[in-house]
Structure 1
Amino acid sequence: MPAVFPDWSPYQDLDSAARAYLRDPEVALDSLFGVLRGAAVLTFTLERFVNEVNGVWQEVVVCDGSRLVLWHGEDVAPGDGPVGAMTSSLRVVPLSTVTEVGCRRRLSRTPGGKVQVDSIDVYLLLSSVDDAPVPPGVGEDESRSVLRHDALRFGKTLDDGGAGQIARLEDFSRVVASLVGRPTL
């Protein structure tokens, strides 16, 4: 049975949304604000779920107009550390490295015939290269390298987040898309 968390979508500011939604908002906000250092938060998105191995997985992505600041917190798997241990990581991605923004909405019709968005998938393709496994049939000793661009992916559904979070993720993708490729100051 999926875990149900409070809805963060009504909160327009990062602090309130994180405190309403994340299990560890102080850890996330301390990390994020330590990097943002007063920069304006133009848009953000949040994610949280529980998996069967590690427990709670949390993520915040903030855009300040010139970069994406990503915080990720995850419970440590049983046996990999003391009970209650978690990892906290931070990643900063300059918007100049985002080469493509994609947003795919799945639309359905209500019984009354009204069109609604019932899921959204957003990806940000980066110019950096991700480690890629060697494809089947290609020996590791061959000189041909396998390259795959790094990407950031986000998704929401009516069951996982609801209409409000779908709309907020779509807004996030639009704001980031409007900034990609523009000269930065």
Structure 2
Amino acid sequence: MNRPAYGNDLPAVFPDWSPYPDLDSAARAYLRDPDVALEALDGVLSGGSVLGFTLERFVNEVNGVWQEVAICDGTRLVLWHGEDMAPTDGPAGAMTSSIRVVPLSAVTEVGCRRRLLRSADGQVRVDGVDVYLLLSSLDEAGAGSGREDVGGVRHDALRFGKTLDDGGPGQIARLEEFAQLVGSLVGRPI
């Protein structure tokens, strides 16, 4: 799936980050603003180990580029999010950069759904992966939003997805590895 380019300077298809085993190389290959992301992440990681990560980037027709890095360091999930501001919200080129740190003890459930396609000859291949990390914290948007949630409470969740059209087989595999890593650590003594 080719996404339309935003303006004239962004490609519709982004480079593949999955061949890069380290965060620095993967971020520099894939993110538009790797220096912004890596500087923000370094401030929280403080030289700690990155056991696994996943990256996301897409073009939003309203705001421009939306970028995300999710890292597991063995005890925490460290998330960086960068997003272009809408033209009505700031000067041209303005963006937000945010960090979120979630202790692994706050992850109550890890789910990974694979979408499989079967070819005419019976071969099965993975067409996409959706991963969610359910958190013990509550989703602020759920309160009073009119959602039909049980008791009006909705737990916060982190969601990640890759498909053959949006990331390819390498990024699907890397996202599955990230989900397996987090799943192997959740609920264990730290």
User: Quick check: 1:157 aligned with 2:163?
Assistant: yes
Match in the other structure for 1:134: 144
**How far did residue 113 of structure 1 move?**
2.8
Moved more, 55-64 or 109-118: 109-118
The equivalences for 1:62-81 within 5 A come to 62-81=71-90
User: Quick check: 1:34 aligned with 2:40?
Assistant: no
**How far did residue 146 of structure 1 move?**
1.7
Whether the aligned pair in 1 keeps the contact of 2:54 and 2:70 (CA below 8 Å) is: yes
- The whole-number CA distance in structure 2 between the counterparts of 1:103 and 1:59 is 19
Match in the other structure for 2:25: 16
- The whole-number CA distance in structure 2 between the counterparts of 1:181 and 1:137 is 29
Whether the aligned pair in 1 keeps the contact of 2:143 and 2:153 (CA below 8 Å) is: no
Which of the numbers 156, 165, 187 marks the counterpart of 1:181? 187
Give unmatched runs, 5+ long, in structure 1: 139-143
Distance 1:9 1:137, change over 3 A: closer
CA deviation digits over 1:153-175, x for unaligned, max 9? 00000000000000000000000
Match in the other structure for 1:141: none
User: Quick check: 1:89 aligned with 2:98?
Assistant: yes
SS at match of 1:96: helix
Distance 1:96 1:23, change over 3 A: same
SS at match of 1:40: coil
Match in the other structure for 1:110: 119
TM-score, normalised by the number of residues in structure 2: 0.90
SS at match of 2:128: strand
Match in the other structure for 1:169: 175
Identity of aligned residues (%): 74
- Structure 1 counterpart of 2:33, which letter? D
Aligned residues: 179
- The whole-number CA distance in structure 2 between the counterparts of 1:158 and 1:84 is 31
SS at match of 1:9: coil
Q: How big is the alpha-carbon RMSD for the aligned residues of Structure 1 and Structure 2?
A: 1.8
Match in the other structure for 2:53: 44
